[in-house]
Structure 1
Amino acid sequence: MLYHQLTYVIVALLISSVLLLTVDTKIYAVNAMHREKKYARILGWVYLGLFLLLGLAQLFYL
């Protein structure tokens, strides 16, 4: 059960990070929202890092 929940979280992190780094940053750049663009990029990279960390942990330990 935990394996399937962790898989869902990993996929959600991947999708969220890709959307933040591609779509949201473009929207904020077009609307000249520089602070929001910066935070979207930071959060996107944090999500991507968590995706890699959890993905590798699931791959090797579960």
Structure 2
Amino acid sequence: MIDPRDYPLNGIDEAFRWIMAPCVVSTLLVDRLAAHFEHYTGHDLNIRRYYRQFDY
């Protein structure tokens, strides 16, 4: 479970944390999914693939 309260948002007033909470959670989930995708496909996500740039 990801709880946005576990992550400090320095400079963000408590009254506005609820607005930023989805951004925090989605960023964490995207990073986790990217790491899983990288492991599952064996493709390093730091290497770009460009569609139709090379003959396959």
Task: Give the TM-score band, short-chain normalised.
Answer: 0.3 to 0.5
- Who wins on radius of gyration, i.e. which is larger? 2
TM-score, normalisation: structure 2: 0.46
User: With structure 1 as the length reference, what TM-score do the two structures score?
Assistant: 0.43
More helix by proportion, 1 or 2? 1
Whose RCO is larger (CA < 8 A, sep 6+)?
A: 1
